[in-house]
Structure 1
Amino acid sequence: MTKDIIALTDQLPDPRTLAAALLSGGPDLRLRTLGEGAVVQLTDDDGHPLVSIESPILLAVPHEAQRLLGVRAEQLGESVWWTEVRATAATHQAQRLAAVVAGRLVTMLGGALWPPGAAEEGIGVVDTHDAQPPPAPHPEQPAVDVLTDTAAVLFQDRPVLTLSSWLGNALLSAAAEGREVQIVTPPHTLLTLPARLALTEAGGRWVVREETGDYYDGLTGAVLGWQGDSFAPSSSASRETGGTGTAAAFAPVPNPDERQLLLSLRTCHPPDERLLLGGALDACWQHLTGAAPAAWGTAEPAGLRWSRRNLTDFARERAPRPTTLVVVGKPERPAIAALHILRTADGVEEDITLGIGYGKDEEPPFAALSDLADDLASHHNLRSALFHVRTGRRDVNAPASFETPPIPLALALGPEEARRAGARGDRVPVSQRPLPIGAQRRPGSYFCLGEVDSAANWEALRSLLGYLRSQDA
């Protein structure tokens, strides 16, 4: 697995400090930059990359380090600089060199090192003369460990696999080149909601390596093997698994005491210079957690304090290009969202996927869903919203094992969608009459699909969608 070491420092690692840390590993190293200086690499004399460092990230909310690494916020200051040091997986010398560089940063600037055991390696210099040359890297993607004609393979050994800037850039680059991104992790790694959405949308694969050396897909359980130039379902999987082709390690993990409330919603705003984005997401957080979001960013960790104005300014600067953001909540109520902002012919669209976690004796606020839908239709230009509940981890992360599908609870349509579908209350195929939401003169509709945790809600949703589509047609 790739050796990633993160320096969480009290002060900003300025260019001089970074250079001193990079060259502290020994005199026979060379520096070069990628991406207009966004990434600095250490190479050997022949130009083989050994260690890559991305620009430091300011975490204005230190509990992001606790969410992703398990480093408690009280170990850090009010704000912390996150500097990621990534070593190539090809040589042990590169992995030790990463520890030396990150350890030097923490020594000079104060803070903490992750993983804690890396501190023991981060002392002294590293002799790279006899290091095995790593394979030819991707010219612009140092996160990619193996590059073939069909796949870009990344190795990660972390407790939580995030939608980091490394991963985001690798997904974009692979899509442009017609390659599939494949991320290899150990079984204990968890996948965040934004990372799962991005990997699924890009058609990537989560490859889990068991201690036995076998591989399986962390999202589907399919037994995998290296098939020439990429990981693919094993041709012998059906024989080895009794015809199922599913790894035994993908068996469901009992988790009856923890649940997740999941929301998928879309808004569309008229283009206006006074438009302030993020209102629908803020409303979801307020109705369902009692507080505003804590932080946002273009990747994980999300290091910027929540600000609708700053978020809007950032998206406006990028327009007409789409913008994808990560938004997180406070640690006492785990919540995370992926926000996609897109300029279309209809206006400015926000596509939101939000997950909120609940533990034992924490009941999700089901009664608040209709009020939230009314607020979204009244003040935030709601197009549609779908609410689900599922048994799942309180931290809203996905394990590399089977999870029961979510159960739909309710569907909400904004005024325009409700009018177009002709959703008359006396004909809609659901047990409860739809509730009007939004303005009285031009209301939307809120459809309750049934009892919480009832599998029959799926059939109710299918019937409702079929009816609405026939009316729209």
Structure 2
Amino acid sequence: MTKDVIALTPKMPDLPTLLAGLYAGGPDLGVNTTADGAVVQLCGPDGRPLVSVEAPILVHVPGETTRLLDHAVEDGPVWWTEARASTAVAEAGRLAGSFAGRLATVLGGTVWPPEAATTDVVPLTTDVSAIPAPATGAPAVDVLTDSTAVVIQDRPLVAMTSWLSDALRTAATADRALQIVTPPSARLTLPTRTALRGVPNRWVVQDPEHGYYDGLSGAVLHWKDGSFIPVHDEQGATRVAEAFTPTPDTGDRQLILTLRTRQPAEENLALGHALEAAFQHLTGAPPAGWSTAEPVNLPWSTRQLTDLARARAPRPTWLVAVGHSDRPALATVRVLRTPAGIEEDITLAIGYGGDETPALDIIADLAAELDTQHGLVTQLTSLRAARRDLTVPSRLEPPPIPVAFTLGHDETERIGPARAEHPPQGPTPARLGPTARPALHYSLGDGTDARAWTTFQHLIQHLRQA
């Protein structure tokens, strides 16, 4: 298990400051680097990593520290320096706190969690030679087996940090599952939930009274053959944990758009404009920032986003975008090169409180703009009863209910207008955009009647038969 400590400073930690922080364990500890120099490790006499420190990140986006840590800092950019301490060694957690505390003292910042901050020298008294060596050199991975990489997190909110993103990528490359273990009080950000949505990746909740269960499905889990897998009863059915109870309906809602765009792979193509249009329609402003991990640290820029995707092509690019703090809005985007062109798969979630009305009335206008200007293929709009802050608890949440589905004009032509406009079980679509090549917009309800799923399934089956 590891413990995370973060230094938040107005100035970049320079080399002398980092060295002062790394001296938290006194002169007997060594220093190593890994990940091509991006990670510095404070090591015991035998070279065992005690604390791993990631390269500082300059967070330009206001509100990110509050969103992820519930730890507000003064307005303006802040340097985020994250340290992970191995709890296999008793002193490692205090070493991480002393490292972060020294940075904050010298540079005038703060530490999260606040109680971890110290500037004391923490001598190593544990005989590390008596502790089994870690099976992995990856800083984010606590347990590594032939089938699974396990990450144990004690943070209240588990974000898709660069640590986790690297662990997920490494696990996928090695054909391993990524399984994150947390206490029941932890929540996930939407990017982390998206990453863990597909089996065998899992969110494993360790409940002191009920054992292990899947935080997204509630399935009771146990450790077998190097992985957390479901427990089945005598009939072969998956058991559901007693702790996986429904979340109370507070009136909060999430409006979720899942859309795909496709445009020709031209030299002057700029990416991110479809997402920008969706943010503008639904929040009144473009995204505040974007990044390839959380915290979202870069100011919004379609040019920089495009440059990154070009540099990575033909490999796909995955990124996160966040809105301004007055309206919770978070999106994930996957940019993919296909034979048909450049595709952007976008999932955008907007949070609303019980006294706020989701912006359902402008979905059709947004779909029309996406179709005429940004190559819309499909757009599914859904509404769900879930937290306004867009975080995910380890409780049973109701699924989203479809509100509308839109076919872009190219997809309508591919299916055939006569078929697409006349589904036998409804609904009759509205035409959007130019009369000659319209997009088709199917209204499915207001997000309160679960029978909309049946209507949507019949519609999709009809369209796929083409």
Q: Which amino acid is 1:88 matched to? A: S
1:161 to 158, 161, 166: 158
Q: Which amino acid is 2:77 matched to? A: S
Alignment of 1:28 with 2:28, yes or no, is: yes
Q: Secondary structure of the equivalent of 1:33?
A: strand
Aligned residues with identical type, % of pairs: 51
2:200 to 196, 199, 203: 203
Contact 1:293 1:327 in 2 (8 A): yes
- Please list, as runs of the form range in 1=range in 2, the aligned pairs for 1:8-157 lying within 5 A after superposition: 8-72=8-72, 75-119=73-117, 121-131=118-128, 134-137=131-134, 139-157=136-154
1:347 to 341, 349, 353: 341
Separation in structure 2 between the aligned mates of residue 139 and residue 131 of structure 1, nearest angstrom:
16
Alignment of 1:6 with 2:1, yes or no, is: no
User: Post-superposition shift, 1:181?
Assistant: 1.3
Match of 2:441 in 1: 446
Separation in structure 1 between the aligned mates of residue 297 and residue 149 of structure 2, nearest angstrom:
28
Alignment of 1:180 with 2:177, yes or no, is: yes
More divergent stretch after superposition (148-157 vs 99-108): 148-157
Call closer, same or farther: CA 1:244–1:312 in 2, change over 3 Å. Answer: closer
1:468 to 450, 463, 466: 463
What is the TM-score with the length of structure 1 in the denominator?
0.94
Q: Secondary structure of the equivalent of 1:417?
A: helix
Q: Secondary structure of the equivalent of 2:397?
A: coil
Alignment of 1:298 with 2:308, yes or no, is: no
Call closer, same or farther: CA 1:209–1:199 in 2, change over 3 Å. Answer: same
What is the TM-score with the length of structure 2 in the denominator?
0.95
Q: Secondary structure of the equivalent of 2:246?
A: coil
User: Post-superposition shift, 1:330?
Assistant: 1.1
Match of 1:272 in 2: 266
User: Post-superposition shift, 1:371?
Assistant: 0.5
User: Post-superposition shift, 1:40?
Assistant: 0.7
Q: Secondary structure of the equivalent of 2:331?
A: strand
Contact 1:302 1:328 in 2 (8 A): yes
User: Post-superposition shift, 1:296?
Assistant: 0.3
Q: Deviations over 1:170-197 (max 9, x none)?
A: 1111122222211110111111111111
Q: Which amino acid is 2:371 matched to? A: A
Q: Deviations over 1:339-358 (max 9, x none)?
A: 10111111111000111110
User: Post-superposition shift, 1:295?
Assistant: 0.7
Match of 1:229 in 2: 226
Call closer, same or farther: CA 1:455–1:108 in 2, change over 3 Å. Answer: same
User: Post-superposition shift, 1:10?
Assistant: 0.9
Separation in structure 2 between the aligned mates of residue 426 and residue 51 of structure 1, nearest angstrom:
61
Separation in structure 1 between the aligned mates of residue 442 and residue 314 of structure 2, nearest angstrom:
34
1:310 to 304, 308, 313: 304
Match of 1:455 in 2: 450
Q: Secondary structure of the equivalent of 2:11?
A: coil
Structure 1: gaps (5+ residues): none
Q: How many residues align?
A: 465
User: Post-superposition shift, 1:446?
Assistant: 0.8
Separation in structure 2 between the aligned mates of residue 117 and residue 329 of structure 1, nearest angstrom:
30
Q: How big is the alpha-carbon RMSD for the aligned residues of Structure 1 and Structure 2?
A: 1.9
Q: Which amino acid is 1:87 matched to? A: A
Separation in structure 1 between the aligned mates of residue 61 and residue 413 of structure 2, nearest angstrom:
43
Q: Which amino acid is 2:11 matched to? A: Q
Separation in structure 2 between the aligned mates of residue 228 and residue 202 of structure 1, nearest angstrom:
16
Call closer, same or farther: CA 1:396–1:423 in 2, change over 3 Å. Answer: farther
Separation in structure 2 between the aligned mates of residue 432 and residue 383 of structure 1, nearest angstrom:
19
Separation in structure 1 between the aligned mates of residue 20 and residue 424 of structure 2, nearest angstrom:
68
Contact 2:220 2:238 in 1 (8 A): no
Alignment of 1:327 with 2:330, yes or no, is: no
User: Post-superposition shift, 1:199?
Assistant: 1.9
Q: Which amino acid is 1:271 matched to? A: A
Separation in structure 2 between the aligned mates of residue 411 and residue 378 of structure 1, nearest angstrom:
16
Separation in structure 2 between the aligned mates of residue 5 and residue 451 of structure 1, nearest angstrom:
44
User: Post-superposition shift, 1:139?
Assistant: 4.5
User: Post-superposition shift, 1:41?
Assistant: 0.6
Q: Which amino acid is 1:261 matched to? A: L
Q: Deviations over 1:394-420 (max 9, x none)?
A: 011111011101101111111111111
Call closer, same or farther: CA 1:77–1:451 in 2, change over 3 Å. Answer: closer
User: Post-superposition shift, 1:112?
Assistant: 1.0
Q: Deviations over 1:291-345 (max 9, x none)?
A: 1111100100010011111111111111111110010011111011111011111
Contact 2:94 2:122 in 1 (8 A): no
Match of 1:388 in 2: 382
Alignment of 1:399 with 2:389, yes or no, is: no
Contact 1:76 1:111 in 2 (8 A): no
Separation in structure 2 between the aligned mates of residue 172 and residue 252 of structure 1, nearest angstrom:
32
Contact 1:315 1:323 in 2 (8 A): yes
Q: Deviations over 1:10-34 (max 9, x none)?
A: 1101233212211222111111111
User: Post-superposition shift, 1:211?
Assistant: 2.6
Contact 1:87 1:94 in 2 (8 A): yes
Contact 1:323 1:342 in 2 (8 A): yes
Q: Secondary structure of the equivalent of 1:357?
A: strand
Structure 1 segments (4+ residues) deviating >6 Å: none
More divergent stretch after superposition (325-334 vs 421-430): 421-430
Contact 1:341 1:351 in 2 (8 A): yes
More divergent stretch after superposition (14-23 vs 411-420): 14-23
Separation in structure 2 between the aligned mates of residue 335 and residue 213 of structure 1, nearest angstrom:
34
Match of 1:358 in 2: 352
